[in-house]
Structure formats: structure tokens, C-alpha cells
Amino acid sequence: MFLLSWVDRINSTLGKIVSFLIWIGMAIIVYEVIARYVFNAPSVWAPGYTQRIFAAYFVLIGAFTLIQGGHVRVDLLLNTRSPRWNALADFLNYSVLVIWGLALCYEGWPYFYETWEWGDTDDSALGHPMWPVMLSLFIGAVMITVQGCVEILRSLILLVRPDLDVKRRGVVV
């Protein structure tokens, strides 16, 4: 159980740190709106940076959202039957998530490595480097895949022993 709560704590901490990217993105957007509409002097850099900040936020917050139970679920089939049925349904859902996450990890690393190695940039006027976006995609995929594996283990434990309490302990959510 220590390993499960350890992964929960890592993903919760990462999620809380990454959540501050929203404030940075909002500050850049406010700056851009004021510069554009008050001073009639839009920036060249703000759209590209806000796009990257929100992209990193979106992919890095996935595991934390999974811990919080914030992903879309069909409650018509879940939480209406026995604890074993719910555990089986969770097991199947998290198995699909892990397969998807492994595919993202498998494809994400070569994308990151190639953009890093070749120094790829986007086609904006400033030529922003692409490797930070690709790295955040890879890290986000790894973290949600690991969290999915933890949730599979919880589901298996509950499938065998529905009376056990394998909830997230020590994680302030």
C-alpha cells in the first residue's frame, strides 16, 4: 500500500505545482489584452507562450485529475451496483487508460528526442523551441500511465477483497 500512496503523493504534488501555470498563462493573456487594446501594441511572443503554457498544463495535470476523480465517467453503469462490480468496471477502464498511456509514452519519447536533437522550432516569428512541449507530453503520459497502474492495483485489490480500504491515504485532495 505504501507504493500506491507514494505514487499518489508524487502525482498530487506535481499537479499542485503545475496548477500554478494557469496564473502565469492568465497574466500573459491580461498583459496581451492591455497591450493590444489599450496601447495598440500587441506582442509577437504572447500567443505562442500562452499556447505552450496551457498545453503543458493540460497534459501534466492529467494524473492529478485522475486522483481527484475529475475525468468523465458514466455513472449510470458505475457506483450503482456491488463493490465488486465497481471494481471490475474500474479495472477495465483503467486498463484501457494504461494501454492508451503506454502508446503515448512509446510515441512521445521519440518526438521529444527528435525535437531536442534537431533543435526544432515552430513556424512563428520568434521560432519557439518545440522540445519543452514534447517533454511535457512525455512526462504527462508517463505520470498518468503510472497513476493508471496504481488504480488498476486498487481495483484488483477491491475485486478480491471489497471490504478493504485502499483509498488514497495521506493525500490531501
* Per-residue pLDDT tens over the stretch 133-156: 899 999 999 999 999 999 999 889
Whether the per-residue pLDDT at 167 is higher than 90: the answer is no
Task: Please say whether the beta carbons of 9 and 51 come within 8 A.
Answer: no
DSSP character at residue 119 = T
Query: Could you tell me the end-to-end alpha-carbon distance of the chain, in angstroms, rounded to an integer?
Result: 18
Burial degree of 113 (CB within 10 A; 0-12, 13-18, 19+): middle
Share of the chain above pLDDT 90, in %: 40
Whether the per-residue pLDDT at 79 is higher than 80: the answer is no
**Cα–chain center distance at 141:** 7
pLDDT of residue 105: 94
pLDDT of residue 75: 65
pLDDT: which is higher, 64 or 77? 64
d(CA 66, CA 68): 5
**Alpha helices by DSSP H, 20-122:** 21-37, 46-60, 62-68, 83-118
pLDDT of residue 144: 92
pLDDT: which is higher, 78 or 51? 51
Whether the per-residue pLDDT at 107 is higher than 70: the answer is yes
Query: What's the mean pLDDT in 83-106?
Result: 90
pLDDT of residue 172: 39
pLDDT of residue 38: 93
pLDDT: which is higher, 20 or 163? 20
pLDDT, tens only, 28-56: 999 999 999 999 999 888 888 888 899 88
- What contacts 24+ positions apart, CB below 8 Å, involve 95-102? 95/152, 97/66, 97/144, 97/145, 97/148, 97/151, 98/145, 98/148, 98/149, 98/152, 101/141, 101/142, 101/144, 101/145, 101/148, 102/145
Distances (CA, A) of 172 to 2, 113, 161: 16, 35, 25
User: What mean pLDDT, rounded, does the chain reach?
Assistant: 85
Closest residue by Cα to residue 90 from 146, 159, 173, 20: 159
**Coil, helix or strand at residue 145:** helix
